[in-house]
Structure 1
Amino acid sequence: MLNNEVFSCFVFYALLLVLKVYIISIIVGQLRLRKKAFANPEDALRHGGLQFVRQDPGVERARRAHLNDVENIFPFLFIGAVYSLTGPSLFVARLHFLVFFLARLVHSAAYLFALKAPTRSISYSIGLISCILMAIQVLIVVAPYA
């Protein structure tokens, strides 16, 4: 399957995106430690006491960035994998994968650094459009068999 250039390209960007999910998760954890803002009593007790079961705006911002990645990257993994098996042009497929990847990077940066509106909305929309276009292509290819 990795002889399929489009699928190999997809795997490359998919792995980068999964690593990005992990990186944002690590950032959330590090912010919790640094700001002593824990969601669970057992974590707070381990790091100073129950008074640290609390929310922090910076931690919550990073947590929302992580949740948004989970909500958007995992559907991309399915759509992109199926799309890559429909025989698209390597150039067009690479463009979809790269655009989605860059859109997610910008989206996370906009979330983590509270960049001015509408940076986050625009990057989200660009990534979504890329996924929708791939999904439409898949539907066109598989519709005759449905």
Structure 2
Amino acid sequence: MDGINLHDPLFATYVVAASLIILKAVAMSWLTVVRMVRAQGGYRSPEDIKKTPLNPAPDPAQLLPNEDVERIRRIQMNDLESLPYFLVAGFLCVLTKPSLLLAQCLLYGYVASRLLHFLAYLTGQIHDIRAMLWTVGSVILVFMTVRTLLVALGA
């Protein structure tokens, strides 16, 4: 499989897109922590309200849901529901050797749709906007997967 290296523009495109989407997903964990620290709440586990240098005045209310924290958790859950499919579908699609332009449109299009979905969710946009952005990413995933399947069946 001499084509799977970073000198192959198709594989390099996948690596860039996958790296961006993984960094975005990891950033959600950090953003959750930032929001919890800022709110001094939204914690989930009983041990989170023990007295520590980072929580010098624990309060049972810190275990109550905090909307700012929960919003990031919902964004992260949405990522966890879709990103693994992208990583696999994108890799398999690249193995079918699509044109570089098609691969860039699909892979970067998915990344753009997820970043825009994140911004829409973070800023509390109406469901219709989030749904439209989610749909774009979902259609890209379905297209990549069906195209890959058809190429594999024809091989």
TM-score (norm 1): 0.93
The one-letter amino acid of 1:111's match is Y
Q: Report what 1:77 is aligned to.
A: 87
Structure 2, unmatched stretches of 5+, are none
Deviation of residue 144 (structure 1)?
4.0
Whether 2:142 is the aligned partner of 1:132: answer yes
| Structure 2 SS opposite 1:73 | helix
Moved more, 90-99 or 46-55: 46-55
TM-score (norm 2): 0.88
Q: Report what 1:41 is aligned to.
A: 46
Q: Report what 1:17 is aligned to.
A: 21
The one-letter amino acid of 2:33's match is G
Deviation of residue 116 (structure 1)?
2.8
Query: Which residue among 113, 132, 143 is the counterpart of 2:123?
Result: 113
- The 1-side partners of 2:61 and 2:152 are apart by 56
The Cα RMSD (Å) is 1.3
Whether 2:69 is the aligned partner of 1:65: answer no
The one-letter amino acid of 1:50's match is P
The one-letter amino acid of 1:41's match is P
Larger proportion of helix:
1
Number of equivalences: 145
Which structure has the greater CA radius of gyration? 2
Deviation of residue 49 (structure 1)?
3.5
